[in-house]
Amino acid sequence: MPDVYSNRFALKENRFWYELVSLFLIPTWALVAQVAPQPVVQCATETLSPSDRKALEAEAALALRLKRASGSVFTTLTYVPIRPHILRKSDGTGGYSLASLNNVMALTNKYFLQNGAGIQFYFAGTTPDYIDNDALYNQYRQGTDDATVAPYDVANALNQYYVHKFDKDGLGGYAQFPSNSVSSTRTIILDENYDDDMGNRLVPHELGHTFNLLHTFEAAYGYERVTRGSGANCSTAGDLVCDTPADPYGRFTGASASCVTGCPSAFTCTFTDDQNNLYQPSATNIMSYYYPCTHDFTAGQYDRIQAGLAIRQSHTAYTLNAPETSMAAPSNVVATIANGTIVINWQDNSGNEMGYFIERSTSPTTGFIPIGGLAPNTTTFTDVSTTARIQYYYRIKASNTTTGSISPVVSVVAPVCQPDFDDDGCPFAINLKGVTINGAVLSQNSGCSPATTDYYSSFTAVSGTVTAGQSSTVSISKGTTNKMGVAIWIDLNNNGVFETSERLYQMADADFASTVSATLAIPASTTATTVAMRVVGAYAEVPADPCGNYWYGETEDYRLIVNPPCILPVATLSGTTTTITAGQVATLTASLTGNSPFSLTLNVSNGVPSIFTGITSSSYSFTVAPAVSTTYTIGQVAVGCGSGTTSGTAIVTVIPCTVLYTLKAGSWDDPTVWSCNRIPTQTDLVRLGHMVTVPASYMARALKIEYSTSGAITLSTGAQLLFTP
């Protein structure tokens, strides 16, 4: 038994026990984060009094009308500065990390974009404002410590404070609605140590309040009714936005995050409003409390954000004009594929960036959206949120700039996911050596893919051919030192995912055989013209997951051309009856349906069949010259995938003739005979001395001899003439 078998058996056994023990050692919060993270931190933004709310709504309505009149609501991108303040211990340790600061703000930024317009936040300054204070670090007191940090506020940006711990359990942050005071620019954010929730919910939620968004379940101004249209109160109650559904959260004890399941998330509980209408709230709205898997604002909320921005731009107690930092843009941007992900590398050309935002688009010039952020002096980013075979464009910008420090754009086509192998199986011949399909070689003696590519190879430049609705034969050569199992997937719907239904072959059991022969049934419903085929070989087991984890092995991807489903041809021969004189030709036509090219076999009643190939038109004509009357039929019509049906008969009737005339030539000893298609010339007659003898028996046929201008003689139809010296 090879060493690898016993070693891997032990490793697998050890790994099982390690994972089992780990279940007891991993902290509970980590398990929750891995399965379905649902932080419990909530918002403590204070509600305005009805009179203050009424005044602010009037101000917002006017600001939005003016902005709409200017045409800038949906066309202008506004850069808004944020001055970050990070609370640390008195000795300068602890505090929010720059990596998370940038990553969370990058994630936040994507929610404040709408059709290329909206708000994008950037950091003011070259480093955060660090506040080293043990008391503030250990316990930030809402309200009380707002006055403590007030001297740190700047008057030309929004002020954002990142705290280590609140004095109230469950508090995640709070903000203030627009007012003409520096304190209204302040948001207080808990460092959850969890970028995903902070960037996709907590920070955009609090900044939503900063620009006058209310909770979707707001009850201070009356409970919002479910109904819209007649009887609706959505513009005066709840969150004052009519395209956000009424939200029962907080009104009923059971209307909580436990009502939200699935991804995309859906609200599953049953509650009704005071008119007995069933609530169907948006489980994904950022201003709700449902902790879903995806998050969003509505169009009505974007309008309120634009109005809130206009209000803040009109204030005089502060401005939003903190300058961006001038610096050299990143350069030498390179995008590569590594282990199934896209890795972006670049050259850092400055020393005063506060960090970086990574922006991505599917267009080289427009539509860039932040997808992540990094600490300063970082030069690599891994994008793990791509869709296979989509071409992405990337650019890098410093997080404390707006448009003045953007790198060149680089593009790459995203790969499909791929299996993960624990160790190097190459020394043990646990690899795929060659693949053919329908006799065409896709790879041959390809060797073992190295660890640097995670034992993965992509043969996208080589294509085999399959036909929808037919079975294809695949032959795979593999290493034989150890047992290997093989499975094959084809991405039939071309969506970049190898789904369970697209596993077209799976070995019954791993074996030592050097060759695997597989039959792949390509569904007739396949419409893609090219598809990806994945072959996975794994040590001692049969792969069941195209992106799974295996001990040793190798993955190879190929591109296949898909021919459309075979349509068997139909050939119909026309030209039912045609009459010719012996020696003449007749034209026959075959009408064809199906996928060309066609081949035809023409059967004759008294001769050898004729074969015509490479026919590409739907109507094919050909000539025949039978010596006697003949019946023609199509014996076979075929295309590449099979033979079809034939019909029709063509009869060519031939009028025979023996000798039109006979004359003695040369020494006048032997007669020379011409058939029906030979017309005597004037030279022939001169040669015979113009002596023409017409037997009396032919005179009744009205024989006529005429000299044409060319010197030829025309004979009346059917006449026979004997020329003699």
Question: Given the DSSP bridges, would you call strands 553-563 and 530-539 parallel, antiparallel or unpaired?
Answer: antiparallel
Task: Give the best-scoring range by mean pLDDT among 70-79, 300-309, 413-422, 445-454.
Answer: 300-309
The H or E element containing residue 13 is helix 3-25
60 or 584, which is more confident: 60
Of 101, 105, 170, nearest in space to 142 by CA: 170
CA-wise closest residue to 675 among 630, 621, 618, 625: 625
CA distances from 191 to 86, 131, 161, 176, 484 (A): 10, 15, 10, 19, 48
pLDDT in the model for residue 37: 44
Peptide bond into 597 cis (omega under 30): yes
Q: How far is it, in rounded angstroms, from Cα 540 to Cα 553?
A: 10
* Calpha distance 77→404 (Å, rounded): 15
Return the pLDDT at 73.
73
Alpha helices (runs of H) in 26-97, residue ranges in sequence order: 28-35, 50-70
The pLDDT, as a whole number, for residue 12 is: 38
Q: Which residues pair with 721 in a beta bridge?
A: 661
Q: Which residue has the higher pLDDT, 656 or 333?
A: 333
Report pLDDT for 301.
97
Which residues fall within 8 angstroms of residue 567, CB to CB, at 6 or more apart? 593, 594, 595, 639
> Cα–Cα distance between 432 and 424 in angstroms, integer?
13
Report pLDDT for 657.
53
Cα–Cα separations (whole angstroms), residue 354 to 104, 216, 321, 359, 403: 13, 34, 18, 16, 15
Q: Please, what is the average pLDDT of the chain?
A: 84
Res 437 pLDDT > 80: yes
Beta bridge partners of 99: none
Lowest mean pLDDT among 70-74, 374-378, 596-600, 703-707: 703-707
Answer left, alpha or beta for residue 457, where phi above 0 means left and psi between -120 and 50 means alpha: beta
- Residue 139 above 70 pLDDT? yes
Give the mean pLDDT of 72-93: 93
Is the pLDDT confidence value at 406 over 80? Answer: yes
pLDDT of 8 > 70? The answer is: no
Contact call for residues 340 and 413 (beta carbons, < 8 A): no
Half-sphere exposure of residue 74: CA atoms within 13 angstroms, side-chain side: 6
H or E element, residue 108: helix 98-109
Burial of 188 (0-12, 13-18, 19+ CB in 10 A): buried
Nearest to 483 by CA among 419, 555, 536, 428: 428
d(CA 39, CA 197): 7
**Which amino acid makes up residue 593?**
T
Describe the crossing of helices 203-210 and 98-109 by its angle, rounded to 10 degrees: 60
* pLDDT score at 575: 67
The number of CA neighbours under 13 Å toward the Cβ of 60 is 25
User: How far apart, in whole angstroms, are the C-alpha atoms of residue 698 and residue 195?
Assistant: 114
Element (H, E) at 475: strand 471-478
The CA distance from 383 to 103, in Å, is 13
Burial of 139 (0-12, 13-18, 19+ CB in 10 A): middle
| Tokens representing residue 683 in the block | 């030279």
CA 119 to chain centroid, in Å, comes to 28
Q: Which residue has the higher pLDDT, 482 or 584?
A: 482
* Torsion sign, CA atoms 654, 658, 664, 666: positive
Given this model, what pLDDT does residue 7 score? 37
The set of residues, in sequence order, having a beta carbon less than 8 Å from that of 597 and lying 6+ positions away, is: 613, 614, 615, 616, 639, 640
CA distance 370 to 622: 66
Which is it for strands 186-190 and 158-163: parallel, antiparallel or unpaired?
parallel
610-643 pLDDT tens trace: 999 999 999 998 888 888 889 999 999 998 778 9
Q: Which two tokens stand for residue 638?
A: 């075929």
Query: Could you tell me the CA-to-CA distances from 556 to 449, 492, 532 in Å, in that order?
Result: 9, 17, 10
Q: Which two tokens stand for residue 592?
A: 């064809």
How is residue 361 written in tokens? Answer: 């688009």
Lowest model confidence (mean pLDDT) among 85-89, 347-351, 711-715: 711-715
Residues 153-201 have pLDDT tens digits of 999 999 999 999 999 999 999 999 999 999 999 999 999 999 999 999 9
Over the Cα atoms of the chain, what is R_g? Answer: 42
Note if the bond before 364 is cis, omega within 30 degrees.
Answer: no
